[in-house]
Amino acid sequence: MSKFIINGPIKLSGEIDVKGAKNAALKIIPASILSKEKIIITNLPKIEDVKKSLDLLAYLGAKIEKRDEKTVEINPKNINQAELNPELAKKFRASVMFVGPLLARFGEVKFPHPGGCVIGAGGRPIDVFLEGFSALGAEIDAGENYYRLRAKKLTGAKFFFTKLISVTATESIMMTACLARGKTVLENCAMEPEIKSLADYLNAQGAKIKGAGTPTMEIEGVKKISAGSFAIMPDRLETGSFAIMAAATKSKIKINNCIPEHIRVLLEIFKKIGVRFEKGKNFLKIFPTKNIKPYNIKTHEYPGFPTDLQPPYTVLMTQAEGQTLVHETIFDRRLLFADSLAQMGANITVCDPHRLLVNGPTKLYGKKLTSPDLRAGIALIIAALGAFGQTEISNIEQIERGYENIVGRLKKLGADIQKIK
β-pair partners for 185:
158, 218
Query: Using the rule CB under 6 A, is 166 a contact of ligand EPU?
Result: yes
Helix (H, G, I), strand (E, B) or coil at 314: helix
State the number of CA atoms in the 13 A half-sphere of 332 facing the CB.
Answer: 7
Helices within 274-373 (DSSP H only) = 310-317, 338-343
Report the residue number, 184 or 289, with the smaller CB distance to ligand EPU: 184
Tell the smallest beta-carbon distance from residue 229 to ligand EPU (Å).
21
Given candidates 167, 180, 227, 253, which one binds ligand EPU under the rule CB under 6 A?
167
Residue range at the interface with ligand EPU (CB under 6 A); choices 21-29, 58-66, 105-113, 276-284: 21-29
Confirm if 148 and 110 have CB atoms less than 8 A apart. Answer: yes
Answer yes or no: are the C-beta atoms of 210 and 217 closer than 8 Å. Answer: yes
- Contact between 262 and ligand EPU per CB under 6 A: no
Task: Please name every residue paired with 6 in a beta bridge, in sequence order, or none if there are none.
Answer: 391, 417
Pattern 55-94, binding to ligand EPU, x per CB under 6 A? Answer: ---------------------------------------x
168 near ligand EPU (CB under 6 A): yes
Mark whether 117 is an active-site residue.
yes
| Position among 52, 91, 110, 124 found at the interface with ligand EPU (CB under 6 A) | 124
Q: CB-hemisphere CA count at 13 Å for 366?
A: 16
CB contact burial 326-345 (16+ within 10 A = b; e otherwise): bbbbbbbbbbbbbebbbebb
Q: CB 114 → ligand EPU: shortest distance, Å?
A: 9
- Per CB under 6 A, the segment of 32-40, 160-168, 199-207, 282-290 that binds ligand EPU is 160-168
Annotated catalytic residue, options 117, 178, 189, 258: 117
Is residue 232 within 8 Å of residue 31, measured between CB atoms?
A: no
The one among 50, 99, 109, 126 contacting ligand EPU by CB under 6 A = 126
Q: Is 215 in the site for ligand EPU (CB under 6 A)?
A: no
241 lies in the binding site for ligand EPU (CB under 6 A)? no
What is the radius of gyration, based on Cα positions, of the chain?
21
CB nearer to ligand EPU: give 292 or 376.
376
User: How far apart (Å, rounded) are the C-alpha atoms in residues 314 and 316?
Assistant: 5
Mark the segment that binds ligand EPU (CB under 6 A) among 58-66, 70-78, 166-174, 349-357.
Answer: 166-174
Does the protein bind ligand EPU through residue 125 (CB under 6 A)? yes
Nearest to 270, CA basis, from 282, 253, 287, 254: 287
3-state secondary structure of 209: strand
Count of chain residues binding ligand EPU (CB under 6 A): 23
- Among 34, 103, 180, 330, contact with ligand EPU (rule: CB under 6 A): 330
Interior/surface letters 121-138, b for 16+ CB within 10 angstroms, e for the rest? eeebebebbbbbbebbbb
Q: Which of 9, 86, 107, 120 binds ligand EPU (CB under 6 A)?
A: 120
The one among 169, 255, 316, 413 contacting ligand EPU by CB under 6 A: 169
Distance CA 75, CA 68 (A): 16
Q: Is 375 in the site for ligand EPU (CB under 6 A)?
A: yes
Is residue 308 within the footprint of ligand EPU (CB under 6 A)?
Answer: yes
Q: State the Cα torsion 367-372-374-376 to the nearest 10°.
A: -60
Q: Is the peptide bond before 303 cis (omega within 30 degrees of 0)?
A: yes
Cβ distance to ligand EPU smaller for residue 197 or 289: 197
Residues with catalytic roles: 117
Residues at the contact surface with ligand EPU, assessed by CB under 6 A: 22-23, 26, 94, 120, 124-129, 164, 166-169, 307-308, 330-331, 374-375, 402
